[in-house]
Amino acid sequence: MSTVPLLEAAQLCQKDVYGVRRYNGKVCASTTRYVDGHRGACGCGPRNTDTPFTWNMQQFLTAPSERYFDNGGSSLWCGRNCGKCVKLTPTGGFVPGEGDAPPNNNSIVFMVTNACPIIGNEKWCGIQGKPGTKSVNTYGYEVHFDLQNQAGQIDRIYWNNPEVTWEEVTFPLLEAAQLCQKDAHGVRRFNGKPCASTTRYVDGHKGACGCGQTGSDTPFPWNVQQHVTAPSERYFDNGGSSLWCGNKCGHCVRLTPTGGFVPGKGRAPPNHNPVVFMVTNVCPINGNQEWCGINGKPGTNNVNTYGYEVHFDLQDQVHQVESIGWDNPEVTWEEVAFPFLEAAQLCQPDGSGVRRFNGRPCASTTRYVDGHKGACGCGTGSDTPFDWNLRSYVTAPSERYFDDGGSSLWCGRKCGRCVRLTPTGGFVPGEGNAPSNHNPVTFMVTNVCPINGNQEWCGINGKPGTNQVNSHGYEVHFDLQNQYGQVAAIGWDNPEVTWEEVSCPGDLQSNWQQCECSHGSG
């Protein structure tokens, strides 16, 4: 039995009789990633500067090995393959110690806008001839593609220097930022999932599902404040053409950014967090042909101008879409059974059921009025609170946070700590309302919200990080002192927030030293 070195085992492309790697008869290439704020060797930036065009940083672009860049020559400026496009398809292999297997074998098209010189890059780009001349790099590949990752576009598709097959293709740059690729029917898909385009709209009407006051065109507040959508006409009516009370009214769709976008129409989003939207309006074909001119429901191989089988126009009346960093991203979509409870909660459950917003931990809030000194002893011995403990921004967090996982209801380990709470714009329906702004406020812990008697909000059986949540999916709850209306005055009615521990402001630090528990807590 022959022994195959481990180097080969992860490299699925095998050497032919000339030592050139191939995979199922196709020519192979190695890849790496680079970050480069220059305009590159094809001059893709304003003349007489080294400043790149924005697309030259954000889209799928490559700096191939020198001999490919100049089609066998050695020019490092305006090589003969500048502007060419190559389709790279992962084999599932990689060079051990230099990368990892990708999550899928989906093809991506890259444009040549830069070069990987031989000098200084001998290991990868030290190939002495163009493809077809039997010249290879250290790892046996006849060409190498260094991939632009300035905007994290390669990281987003989870490519870590995969081995690929390659072929030159004719591909408009329009496609370069659209990660959803067309299937055999011209319908865009991403990792096998159906894709959709998105835009934003501002509309103070009740919309085509009648979500407003009877006999008027005034919308319900939630219909302009929450995550609601006006999908393309044929989806709205499930293939029909009704523009009122379509068959999909009230249905919910989970939209997950791919990281792509239609060039000139939007930008890559800051993350791939899914968000659920409810259908409450319609995007008619008439007047919206570019995006919503789709002549059949999904599954009928009808698409809009950009190749998507459905389009979702997203309500942004109170900037609820802008606030999550979405600027018309490309998305995958699926219908979900989603209680309306979720519709106003912008923090979405992660894989462990803990709500997060743009990757940040979330919390629920309520308000309380309490004339006692509280569980951190911030008052006199007679249970009379210090005046600042009633007037300042102070909080009674859930028991397990109060004692850092313990169950003490006096002088918990978080007494005197401060937390910065930042509204997401969401809230638990029936329990609060959207705040008037997203300004953060810092609160000091001076009391506790016990589990006993407060199961709905504070019945969390572990400290943050242990995947324990309350009835609404939050790992911590903050009950906010409102004795003098200080919380109501900033327009907070139990908003959903992100939270983080921070240093306390000077006045609260000074006040804290008066509390009984200050001698044994932070």
Q: State pLDDT tens for residues 98-135.
A: 999 998 888 998 999 999 999 999 999 999 999 999 99
pLDDT of residue 338 exceeding 70, the answer is no
pLDDT at position 520, please? 63
pLDDT of 7 > 70? The answer is no
Choosing from 203, 327, 370, 493, the catalytic residue is 203
Confidence of residue 337 (pLDDT cuts 50, 70, 90): low
pLDDT category at 192 given cuts 50, 70, 90 is confident
φ, ψ of residue 235 to 5 degrees: the values are -75, -45
Count the neighbouring beta carbons within 10 Å of the beta carbon of residue 197.
Answer: 31
Mean pLDDT computed over 61-82? 96
Task: Give the pLDDT of residue 5.
Answer: 39
Q: Same domain for 247 and 321?
A: yes
Active-site residue flag, 203: yes
Residues 354 and 333 in one domain: no
Q: Over 90: is that where the pLDDT of 176 sits? A: no
Separation CA 38–CA 55 (nearest Å): 12
Task: For residue 501, count other CB atoms closer than 10 A to its CB.
Answer: 13
Confidence of residue 511 (pLDDT cuts 50, 70, 90): very high
DSSP three-state, residue 177 = helix
Residues 190 and 125 in one domain: no
361 with 337, same domain: the answer is no
pLDDT over threshold 70, residue 3: no
Residue 3 counted as domain residue: no
Q: Is the pLDDT higher at 6 or at 99?
A: 99
- Whether 29 maps to a domain, the answer reads yes
pLDDT tens per residue across span 374-393: 999 999 888 999 999 999 99
Least confident among 172-186, 355-369, 423-437? 172-186
Predicted confidence (pLDDT) at residue 1 exceeds the cutoff of 70 = no
Both 206 and 352 in one domain: the answer is no
C-alpha triplet 8, 14, 18: angle, nearest 5°: 120
Residues 161 and 187 occupy one common structural domain: no
- Kindly list the distances between the CA atom of residue 485 and the CA atoms of 379, 385, 429, in Å, as whole numbers in the listed order: 20, 16, 22
Same domain, 336 and 446: no
Convert the pLDDT of each residue in 408-448 to its tens digit: 999 999 999 999 999 988 899 878 888 877 899 999 999 99
Let me know if residue 49 belongs to a domain: yes
Q: Is 258 helix (H, G, I), strand (E, B) or coil?
A: strand
Q: Is 38 exposed, middle or buried (0-12, 13-18, 19+ CB in 10 A)?
A: middle
Which residue in the block uniquely carries the two structure tokens 């990752």?
149
Percent pLDDT > 90 in the chain is: 71
Distance, in Å, from the CA atom of 522 to the CA atom of 517, rounded to the nearest integer, reads: 9
Query: pLDDT at residue 245 above 90?
Result: yes
* 462 shares a domain with 382: yes
Specify if 144 maps to a domain: yes
In a domain, residue 270? The reply is yes
61, 159, 257, 286, 357 from 226: Cα distances, Å: 37, 35, 18, 26, 15
Residue 46's pLDDT is 79
- Does 395 fall in a domain? yes
Residue 77 has pLDDT above 80, yes or no: yes
Same domain, 289 and 191: yes
pLDDT at 4 over 90: no
In contact, 397 and 449? CB cutoff 8 Å: yes
Mean pLDDT for the chain overall: 91
Same domain as 161, residue 217: no
Same domain for 22 and 163, yes or no, is yes
Domain assignment present for residue 520? The answer is no
Q: Which residue type is seen at 509?
A: Q
pLDDT of residue 269: 84
Per the structure, the count of domains in the chain is 3
Residue 339's pLDDT is 46
pLDDT single digits (tens) 254-272:
999 988 899 878 888 877 8
pTM for this model (two decimals): 0.41
Given pLDDT bands bounded at 50, 70 and 90, which one contains residue 2? very low
pLDDT band at 6, cuts 50/70/90? Answer: very low
Query: 130-144, 239-253, 344-358 — which is least confidently predicted?
Result: 344-358
Question: Does residue 188 surpass a pLDDT of 90?
Answer: yes
Position 9 in a domain: no
Q: Do 337 and 354 fall within a single domain?
A: no
d(CA 385, CA 138): 74
Residue 139, domain extent: 14-169
| CATH label of the domain that carries residue 100 | 2.40.40.10
pLDDT given at position 259: 85
Among residues 70, 313, 316, 403, the one annotated as catalytic is 313
Final residue of a structural domain among 144, 169, 194: 169
